[in-house]
């Protein structure tokens, strides 16, 4: 039986901006929310009905969360698996610990892609000196990535030869790593796939993404440079990956499109994703409402894109001028633009590189959305070409 709106309380492990937007979506449907996060000023904790300030492995706090909630999710992929396992003993937990564990480890993630029949970049898993010596020459040049705890370009090194590979392995602490062959990339895509406990699967439209310094900068939907056949392949591949894990919830699968037009999967995130923030203004269902629906057993209907959109990621750099002095971004100018929808995350301190918010710019056409997004970039001091 589904957990109906107005009759249940939902829990969130993690108090960041993704948790905050999930809480807003759940509350709009009539659910109460409890956030567990150690930070007293967490963005999600500030808007939930209750905020349990405790560590994610605090057994008493987890027991308290389970007592207060009928279903629980996580807003970040590095939540300790033990916490999810303890909660799942008595409550619905989505996504489950087994699926999250795959997403937390690049080696297991690559193996799952192989098992799902979805092509990824040629790779080797490095756990020892012997693995390092056995790396095939064909994998160089490549990108060495830590198996765990890497995100936004962290825990990664580009290497062109064996000497650089050995040095990078040392620099990363000789922890378990994955070496991926560097491929000729044309562009990057992502797909949000939503799967229910009953096996129902729906997908959002394909998102075309631009990263700068390893951090997502711009998302455009519809994807302007990808044909219908490749978009269909990306959606089918994302669905196969989610179904193969028995996943429940919103899963973001990121892909590379190569210069020869082949599609290869890059990585996945077991949660709503930065590249899916456009859904809050451009679709009839947001990724956060779909997370609520999946974990509560409500119907999963295919989301509909009603407006072309450009999403701009807003980092803390915008709050400083070229000399490093604090300034206020020109929000009034930005919000005067047609179709501009601002989302700030309630963080108390702006820092360079910190995700502070995003701007969705919708339009009657993709050209209109793109033109007004570029005007917003000029007002904010962001690059206006992509």
> For residue range 7-53, what is the model confidence (pLDDT) as tens digits?
899 999 999 999 999 999 999 999 999 999 999 999 999 999 999 99
The reported pLDDT for the residue numbered 265 is 98
**What phi-psi label fits residue 79: left (phi over 0), alpha (psi between -120 and 50 degrees) or beta?**
beta
Identify the residue whose tokens are 């710019």.
361
The reported pLDDT for the residue numbered 382 is 96
Could you say which residues of the chain have pLDDT below 70? Answer: 150-153
Look up residue 127 and give its two tokens: 């756990």
Check: CB of residue 59 under 8 Å from CB of residue 87. Answer: no
Check: CB of residue 314 under 8 Å from CB of residue 215. Answer: no
Q: What is the rounded distance in angstroms from the CA atom of residue 296 to the CA atom of residue 11? A: 11
Angle at CA of residue 335, ends 279 and 352, nearest 5°: 75
Decide the pairing of beta strands 92-93 and 71-74.
parallel
Task: In the chain, list all ranges with CATH 3.30.1490.20.
Answer: 122-181
Out of 3.30.360.10, 3.40.50.720, 3.40.50.20, 1.20.1630.10, which CATH number does the structure's domain 9-93 have?
Answer: 3.40.50.20
The answer, as to whether pTM is greater than 0.85, is: yes
The residue count for the chain: 386
Task: In the chain, list all ranges with CATH 3.40.50.20.
Answer: 9-93
Say yes or no: domain 122-181 is CATH 3.30.1490.20. Answer: yes
Task: In the chain, list all ranges with CATH 3.30.470.20.
Answer: 185-380
The tens digit of pLDDT for each residue in 84-126 reads 999 999 999 999 999 999 999 999 999 999 999 999 999 999 9
CATH number corresponding to 185-380: 3.30.470.20
Check: CB of residue 174 under 8 Å from CB of residue 157. Answer: no
| Among the listed residues 191, 292, 300, the one whose alpha carbon sits nearest the alpha carbon of residue 238 | 191
């Amino acid at each position: 039986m589904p957990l109906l709106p107005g009759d249940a309380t939902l829990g969130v492990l993690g108090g960041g901006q993704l948790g905050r937007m999930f809480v807003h979506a759940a509350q709009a449907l009539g659910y109460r929310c409890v956030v567990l996060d150690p930070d007293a000023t967490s963005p999600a904790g500030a808007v939930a009905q209750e905020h349990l300030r405790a560590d994610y492995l605090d057994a008493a706090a987890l027991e308290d969360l389970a007592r207060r909630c009928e279903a629980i999710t996580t807003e970040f992929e590095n939540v300790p698996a033990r916490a999810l396992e303890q909660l799942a003993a008595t409550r619905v937990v989505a996504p489950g610990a087994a699926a999250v564990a795959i997403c937390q480890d690049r080696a297991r993630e690559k193996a799952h892609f192989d098992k799902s029949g979805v092509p990824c970049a040629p790779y080797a898993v490095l756990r020892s000196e012997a693995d390092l010596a056995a790396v095939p020459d064909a994998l160089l040049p490549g990108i060495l990535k830590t198996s765990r705890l890497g995100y936004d370009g962290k825990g990664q090194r580009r290497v062109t030869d064996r000497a650089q590979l050995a040095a990078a392995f040392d620099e990363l602490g000789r922890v378990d790593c994955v070496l991926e062959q560097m491929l000729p990339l044309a562009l990057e895509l992502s797909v949000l796939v939503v799967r229910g406990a009953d096996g129902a699967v729906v997908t959002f439209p394909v998102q075309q993404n631009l990263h700068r310094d390893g951090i997502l900068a711009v998302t455009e939907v519809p994807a302007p440079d990808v044909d219908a056949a490749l978009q269909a392949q990306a959606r089918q591949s994302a669905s196969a990956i989610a179904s193969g894990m028995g996943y429940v919830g919103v899963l973001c699968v990121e892909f590379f499109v190569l210069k020869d037009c082949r599609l290869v999967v890059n990585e996945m995130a077991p949660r709503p994703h930065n590249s899916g923030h456009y859904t809050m203004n451009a679709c009839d269902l947001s990724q956060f409402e779909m997370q609520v629906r999946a974990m509560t057993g409500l119907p999963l209907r295919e989301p509909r894109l009603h407006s072309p959109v450009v999403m701009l990621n807003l980092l803390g750099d915008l709050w400083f001028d070229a000399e490093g002095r604090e300034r206020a971004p020109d929000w009034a100018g930005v919000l005067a633009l047609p179709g501009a929808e601002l989302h700030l995350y309630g963080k108390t301190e702006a820092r360079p590189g910190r995700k502070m918010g995003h701007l969705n710019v919708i339009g009657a056409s993709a050209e209109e959305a793109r033109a007004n997004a570029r005007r917003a970039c000029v007002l904010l001091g962001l690059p206006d070409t992509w």
